[in-house]
Amino acid sequence: MSHNTFGHLFRVTTWGESHGPALGCVIDGCPPGLALTPEWIQGFLDKRRPGTSRFVTQRQEPDAVKILSGVFDDDRTGGPVTTGTPISLMIENTDQRSRDYSEIRDRYRPGHADFSYDAKYGVRDYRGGGRSSARETAARVAAGAVARCVLGGVTLRGAVVQIGPHAVDRSKWDWDSVEQNPFWCPDRDMAAQWESFLDETRKAGSSAGAIVEVHASSVPAGWGAPVYGKLDAELAGAMMSINAVKGVEIGAGFAAAAFSGEQNADEMRAGNDGVRFLSNHNGGVAGGISTGQDVVVRLAVKPTSSILNEVKSITRDGEDVDVRTKGRHDPCVGIRAVPVAEAMMACVLADAKLRHRGQTGR
């Protein structure tokens, strides 16, 4: 992962600012011959799109993706397929309200990258957060849609497991429920509770954090490359690179610290087709290599930094100032992080698959 590129063989480079003309990504190293249409990518972008419920930002962006290269269609290919050359995807920014940015230009918003970007670069595109805006994640989602084509049989599913202090009851987990509420919540009862909690949060001019969990099923044993390219290390870096994420864990994660050796051991028994694990505290990864169990990752998303309530800050010139952020913001950015985290998981796994195949021929 190098500045705005991640991946080794399946490499994604993203570009674009929140209020520039467009944003997009270039995917290099994609295998040839995979069916790929704009509609396929659009389906995933629509999951992330703003304005879909009152619990996410009201910014209206169709987020329509264009494929500019790397895909070819003629009577021989039987529809558009990847050619193995770079796939360039572009999403035009259409809802760039022309407004007065002088406030955000001169004042550092706490929790945002305003201060640190200025410290690093000495100049920044402050309109809507510029490069540090979560709009960049649209490009990740588009890339993830391509990665899914590479992954074939692997299934990726994400859910929100906690909003604010309210965590789901895992005994009620139902993957079907996830698509049936605006929170990607696998616990129907908790979804109702979150609804009132977030309504209150919004009315209070505040915001809430969340925990997101992503599962990848049918990942073959053997993906990942010790020791610095461990599958879990790559996943941790990928997830932590998502805006507002402050923590990542694999399998039992932080809870493992309180376990005894016996509790934590994922015991094995002979199964019908190879090994059968009796538990999955390791989250599908041992020694940095997939075991064939579900790969399970969780990420902590901090509360949206843009809040209506006043917070203390300074101006660019070092004067004290109090800041309140008006405008259209997600009361809980963790919700829209679900398709983004799925996409990052897809990209990491696609890259791991190609690298494994490169080294071992399997």
Q: Tell which positions 124-163 bind its own copies, by CB under 8 A.
A: 124-125, 130-132, 136, 162-163
Residues 6+ apart with CB under 8 A from 272: none
User: Which tokens go with 199?
Assistant: 């309504």
- The region of 46-54, 55-63, 176-184, 199-207 touching its own copies under the rule CB under 8 A is 199-207
Element (H, E) at 11: strand 11-16
Smallest separation, CB 180 to its own copies (Å): 23
Nearer to its own copies, 169 or 319 (CB): 319
Nearer to its own copies, 42 or 304 (CB): 304
100 in contact with its own copies (CB under 8 A): no
- The region of 49-57, 168-176, 179-187, 352-360 touching its own copies under the rule CB under 8 A is 352-360
User: Which tokens go with 263?
Assistant: 């509790």
Which of 38, 51, 62, 288 forms a contact with its own copies (CB under 8 A)? 288
Using CB under 8 A, which residues numbered 212 to 231 contact its own copies?
Answer: 221-230
355 in contact with its own copies (CB under 8 A): yes
Report d(CA 41, CA 98) in Å as an integer: 29
Smallest separation, CB 352 to its own copies (Å): 11
Report d(CA 166, CA 194) in Å as an integer: 8
Report d(CA 269, CA 184) in Å as an integer: 34
Smallest separation, CB 43 to its own copies (Å): 22
Burial 138-158 (b: 16+ CB within 10 A, else e): bbbbbbbbbbbbbbeebebbb
State the DSSP code for 109.
P
Binding mask 39-78 for its own copies (x = CB under 8 A): ---------------------------x-xxx-x-x-xx-
Which of 55, 291, 335, 340 forms a contact with its own copies (CB under 8 A)? 291
Report d(CA 352, CA 335) in Å as an integer: 27
Smallest separation, CB 197 to its own copies (Å): 11
Q: Name the phi and psi angles at 45, rounded to 5.
A: -60, -35
Q: Write the CA distances from 323 to 74, 136, 302, integer angstroms.
A: 56, 24, 19
